[in-house]
Amino acid sequence: MDNLISILGSAIPFIIVISIVITVHELGHYWVGRWFGAAVESFSIGFGRPIFEVKDKRGTRWRVNWLPLGGFVKFVGELQAPTDSRNQGVADPNVDITEIHGAEGEPTVKLVGKPYTELGPLKRLAVSLGGPFANFVFAVVVFAALGMAMGVAQSKEVLVNGTVAGSAAEAAGFKPGDILLQAGGRTVTSATDVQRATVLNAGEEVRYRVLRGGEQIELIAVPKSESTYNKDLKVRESIGRIGIDLGERETEIRRLNPIEAVGYGFWRTGDALDATVTVLRRLVTGKDGLDKLSGPLGIFTVADNGTDLHMKQEGVSFDKRLIGAALWLINLSALLSIGVGFFNLLPIPVLDGGAAVMCIAEAATGREVPEKVQKVGLTIGLACLVSFALVITWQDITRLPMWAGAP
C-alpha cells in the first residue's frame, strides 16, 4: 500500500505539468478557432473515457479524461486522425448554428459556429499555429512573472578561477583572473550564461570574449562531451564541458520591473528556443544521439525528482518547501511549453506543422488536399510518432538510476 501511495504521489507533479502545457496549447487553437467563428465539438484534457464533462451554451463538450497524457480540441469537420470521419454538419448562416445529425436514434447536436472547412485555408492556418503561439506566450508570461516575483541573479563579474590541466579551456588560453564578457555571442551576467553556451555544443567551436589586463580577448574552445550523473534530478546526461572553474563577484538577486520582466521573458523564451533548435540541428547532423531527447517517462522522472528535491529539504518550513516545489513546476511547465510548441511546428502530419502545410498547399493551389490523401498522411505521421515515442521511451528507461549507473 505504501508503494502504491508513493507511485500515485509521484504522478501528481507530472500530471500538473502535462495538464498545464496541453491546456495552454489547446486553448490557443480553441480561441483562434472561436475568433473565426468555428463550431467546436469538444475540448478534452487527457484521453479515454471522461471522468468529468460539462456542456457550455455553445454546445461544446468540456471533458477531463482518465488518461492524462495529452488532450485535443475538436472542430466540426476537422480531420485529426486517420480514423476520423468528416461529419461537416449542416450550417445555418442566418443563425450561425451548425447541426450534426447523429446515427439513427441519436439526437441532433446543435453547435454555435460553422464547420471548420468553411473557414478558408488561411484562417485554418492561423488556427493550426494558435497552439504553438499560445505555448510561447505562456512561457514569456511565466518567465516575466518569475523575474518580477523572484528576481534574477546577476553578478558584477564572472571570472576564471582556474582551468583543468589538459582541458579545452587550457588549450584555448583561458587564464586565472580572466573576466568573462560574452559566451557563444551572448552577454555574460552569471556563470549560468557560460554553462548555457557550453553544455549543448560538444565537439563544436564556442567563442568566448574575456577581459584581461584591460584588453578584450576572444578565445575559442571546443567543449568535450562528458557523461555525468545529476544527483539532484537523478538522471544521467551527456553535456559539453571545457574544464573551467568559474567564480562570481558581487552577485545579487534583482527583482525586475514590469518592462524589464517582459524583456527577460522574451529573452528566456528565445534562449530556450535557440537551445531546442541547436539540439535538433545536432541530431540531424549526427553530432548528438536521441539520448538528448525526453518523452513522457523522462518528464515524469524530472518532475518527480525536482519536486522531491524541494519537498525533502531539511530545516525549511512546509509552506516554503511547497512554494519552492510549485515554482519549480511552473518553471518546468514553461520550458516544456516551449518544447511542445516547437515540436508541433514540425511539418509532420498529425502535428500542427503538418496541418499548416496542408493549408498553405490549399491556399497556393486553390484546391483542398483530397481527404484520402490527408488520411494517408495522417496514418504515416501517426506511425512515425508512435515509433519515435517508443524509441524515446526506451532512452528514458536507460536513464533511470537502476540503468544509468547512479553512484
pLDDT tens digits, the chain, 407 residues: what are they? 434 334 445 788 888 899 899 999 999 999 999 999 999 999 999 888 889 999 989 889 999 998 887 888 999 888 776 666 665 555 555 446 776 655 555 566 778 888 888 899 999 999 999 999 999 999 999 999 999 999 988 888 999 999 999 999 999 999 999 999 999 988 998 898 999 889 989 899 999 999 998 899 999 999 998 877 767 666 677 789 999 999 998 888 889 999 999 999 999 999 999 989 988 888 888 887 776 777 777 788 888 888 888 888 888 888 888 888 889 899 999 999 999 999 999 998 889 999 999 999 999 998 888 888 888 888 888 888 888 888 888 877 776 655 555 55
User: Residue 308: helix, strand or coil by DSSP?
Assistant: helix
User: Considering its fold, how many domains does the chain have in total?
Assistant: 2
pLDDT, position 7: 46
Does 158 share its domain with 113?
no
Residue 310 placed within a domain: no
Give a yes or no: residue 303 inside a domain: no
Give pLDDT, residue 91.
Answer: 52
386 within some domain: yes
Claim to verify: residue 122 and residue 159 sit in the same structural domain: no
Which of 226, 254, 282 terminates a domain? The answer is: 254
Query: 137 and 184, same structural domain?
Result: no
The confidence score (pLDDT) of residue 23 equals: 93
Q: Is residue 326 part of a domain?
A: no
Asked if residue 359 is part of any domain, the answer here is yes
Instruction: Name the CA dihedral angle for 123, 129, 133, 135, rounded to a multiple of 10 degrees.
Output: 130
List the CATH number of the domain containing 203. Answer: 2.30.42.10
For the stretch 224-231, contacts whose Cβ atoms lie closer than 8 Å and that sit 24 or more positions apart, written own/partner, are 224/167, 224/168, 229/404, 229/405, 229/406, 229/407, 231/407
Q: Which residue, of 227, 254, 281, is where some domain finishes?
A: 254
d(CA 127, CA 62): 19
pLDDT of residue 4: 38
Q: Give the domain extent around 35.
A: 2-141+335-404
Is-contact 181 187, C-beta < 8 A? yes
> In this predicted structure, what is the pLDDT of residue 3?
40
Q: Are residue 111 and residue 178 in the same domain, yes or no?
A: no
Q: What is the pTM of this model?
A: 0.87
The pLDDT of residue 99 is 65
* pLDDT on residue 93: 55
Residue 61 lies in a domain: yes
Residue 175: the pLDDT is: 94
pLDDT for 102 equals: 55
Verify that 131 and 159 share a domain, yes or no. Answer: no
Residues 37 and 121 grouped into a single domain: yes
Identify which of 318, 332, 373 has the alpha carbon closest to the alpha carbon of residue 349: 373
Query: Do residue 40 and residue 69 come from a single domain?
Result: yes
Same domain, 157 and 65: no
Give the residue carrying C-alpha cell 447541426: 99
Are 114 and 179 in a shared domain?
Answer: no
319: left (phi over 0), alpha (psi -120 to 50) or beta: alpha
Q: Are strands 186-187 and 206-212 parallel, antiparallel or unpaired?
A: unpaired
- Provide the pLDDT for residue 14: 86
The pLDDT value given to residue 165: 92
The CA-to-CA distance between both ends of the chain, in Å, stands at: 28
Assess whether 27 and 116 both reside in one domain. Answer: yes
> Three-class SS of residue 100?
strand
Length of the chain: 407
Shared-domain flag, residues 6 and 118: yes
Q: Which residues participate in catalysis according to the annotation? A: 26
Last residue of a domain, one of 254, 287, 319: 254
Evaluate whether residue 277 is within a structural domain.
no
111 with 8, same domain? yes
124 belongs to a structural domain: yes
